[in-house]
Homo-oligomer: A and B are copies of this chain.
Amino acid sequence: MVRPGGRSARVQESVHAAVRDLIAESGRDALTVPQVAARAGVTPSTIYRRWGDLQELLSDVAVERLRPEAPPEDHGSLAADLAAWTELFLDEMASPAGRAYIRDALLGDPDGSNAGQCSAYAADQVEVVLARAVARGEAAPPAETVMDRVVAPIMYRILFRPEGLDAAYARRLAAEVLA
């Protein structure tokens, strides 16, 4: 019994791991497809066939790195949960690694599906926070409002207007959407 996609998933995992290791060792500017292929133990044509080019491969790796590792923490109230999640989200996204992943995710993404996946990760986390509030009997704004008022300003400023992105800003956005 071979799981469908088993080989494909193993190729993806080894190629992604090769990209991460090579970037950690010598930075992204030196990265080439033949180098990634050699490290991953596949042929360059396997990579070109599956990812098109290096930029699309970097975009896939970036999206994988932007996947949240755990659901938002439960601090007992919507205000506390949203403030804590927003602060963590800003911290991760505005870090040098976060900024590089966001750029990579956008750049090698001709059809927008990787950018959409990044946004879906954030929306899923927001929905967990809001559903928990509703289960407690708290009033909660729609998830799309939180995307507009909390996630969008953080992502916009990271890309276009990078001053003043600190924890106080994150907490203010979280407080204002609930006001």
**Is the C-beta of A98 less than 8 angstroms from some C-beta in chain B?**
no
Binary contact readout A21-36 vs B (1 if CB under 8 angstroms, 0 otherwise) = 0000000000000000
The stretch that binds B, out of A83-91, A129-137, A156-164, is A156-164
Q: How many copies does the complex hold?
A: 2
Chain A at the B interface: mostly helix, strand, loop or mixed? Answer: helix
Binary contact readout A145-169 vs B (1 if CB under 8 angstroms, 0 otherwise) = 0011101110111011110000000
Chain A interface category by residue count: 20 to 34
* Interchain nearest-CB distance for A104 vs B (Å): 11
**Is the C-beta of A52 less than 8 angstroms from some C-beta in chain B?**
no
- A residues within 8 Å of B by Cβ? 103, 106-107, 112, 115-116, 118-119, 123, 147-149, 151-153, 155-157, 159-162, 173
